[in-house]
Homo-oligomer: A and B are copies of this chain.
Amino acid sequence: MANGFVAAAPPLKDELDIVIPTIRNLDFLEMWRPFLQPYHLIIVQDGDPSKTINVPSGFDYELYNRNDINKILGPRASCISFKDSACRCFGYMVSKKKYIFTIDDDCFVANDPTGKAVNALEQHIKNLLCPSTPLFFNTLYDPFREGADFVRGYPFSLREGVPTAISHGLWLNIPDYDAPTQLVKPLERNTRYVDTVLTIPKGTLFPMCGMNLAFDRDLIGPAMYFGLMGDGQPIGRYDDMWAGWCCKVICDHLGLGIKTGLPYIFHSKASNPFVNLRKEYKGIFWQEDIIPFFQNLTLPKEATTVQECYIYLSKQVKEKLSKLDPYFDKLAEAMVTWIEAWDELNPQGASKANGKA
């Protein structure tokens, strides 16, 4: 691999939290025990706070329900979604660790083509600990993987890469399709294990899925806001997309990288496409304007921290997207509230979270 990077990833046990949004007992963790039990879990309980969530024994965790969120954030709790997995971002905010791995409770351990169980977290850590290469495409993909390097014609001045802020993992079995595609292809399953990791090039947007995702809180945490979704909102299932688009433009601006590809998890359960269609349909229209908005956005040079970038972005959302729907006014305000809450809970983080590495 390039630059003498080593393939073994340190486990980062004291530097990483696992964030799980849920409304049910976390039986799925049994399967993950060999890989995840050494880590601390932050469980964000959605829905009825009086319900008890069982966590398999032996896991070290803290759990927050809606009452806890309201108590901790006070009026600012309004920026945290209810009855939508977007609530998970509360976990990012209360964590005190450098790295976050977030996973859905219907994601099981995948097997690689040799039948070996995939340690998803280990691969995320590898992805986060070696650089990204957003400025030029490497045709052998991640040059920092074992057995790979930069190919002929790759400028040497770009081979140092940039710090990696986000590692986006994929899903075998049930693919992350929108409601229309689910309706048209109810039986499609993703069976192709693509053995690669690659950097999303600078200037290119991608659909970030929150199902199997890791990131560096210090580098990008304050931009990892999952928006206003679910209860009382006109839209759902765009929480991770929104975070991904915001994070991508901010990473591009601050010289940070985003990787996608390995690791895979096994996504067990397709959500109901009719329910999804109701949640998504406004997003399907809106994204036709949201994407050009992000594609044409230029962050000002003076914005040198994630927070500064995000506040600027919130103003642009208000100015440019609120004509689509009053929802974007509310969202823009919630983005500001989110940053205020983040900085309150992360007083050191507020200065540490300078994206310039």
A binding-site residues for B, Cβ under 8 Å: 113, 136-141, 145, 147-158, 168, 170, 175-178, 180-181, 185, 188-196, 200-209, 237-238, 240-241, 244, 260, 280, 284, 287-288, 291
Contact = CB atoms under 8 A, between A and B. Distances in A.
Nearest to A156: B284
A208 B193 CA distance: 25
A155 B194 contact: no
Contact of A207 (B113, B151, B204): B151
A194 B194 contact: yes
Contact of A195 (B148, B151, B192, B206): B192
22 contacts: A137-B206, A138-B206, A138-B207, A139-B168, A141-B194, A147-B191, A149-B175, A149-B177, A151-B175, A151-B178, A152-B241, A153-B240, A153-B241, A154-B178, A154-B207, A157-B288, A192-B195, A193-B195, A195-B195, A201-B201, A202-B203, A204-B204
Contacts of A156: 180, 284, 288
Given A154-B207, A193-B195, A194-B141, A149 B288 contact: no
Given A113-B113, A195-B193, A260 B139 contact: yes
B195 A139 contact: no
B203 A203 contact: yes
Given A139-B206, A153-B240, 6 more contacts: A141-B194, A148-B175, A154-B178, A155-B291, A194-B196, A200-B201
B241 A175 contact: no
Nearest to A149: B181
A138 B260 CA distance: 10
Given A194-B196, A202-B204, A204-B202, A152 B178 contact: yes
B205 A137 contact: yes
B136 A206 contact: yes
Contacts of A240: 153
A206 B150 CA distance: 11
A84 to B, nearest CB: 15
Nearest to A182: B152
A158 to B, nearest CB: 8
A194 B188 CA distance: 21
Contacts of A206: 136-139
Given A113-B113, A207-B139, A153 B238 contact: yes
B204 A178 contact: no
A248 to B, nearest CB: 9
A209 B139 contact: yes
Contact of A188 (B147, B191, B204): B147
A190 B188 CA distance: 32
A205 B158 CA distance: 12
Contact of A149 (B188, B208, B237): B188
Nearest to A184: B149
Contact of A291 (B136, B178, B188, B241): B136
A183 to B, nearest CB: 12
Given A140-B190, A192-B195, A155 B203 contact: no
Given A168-B139, A200-B137, A177 B152 contact: yes
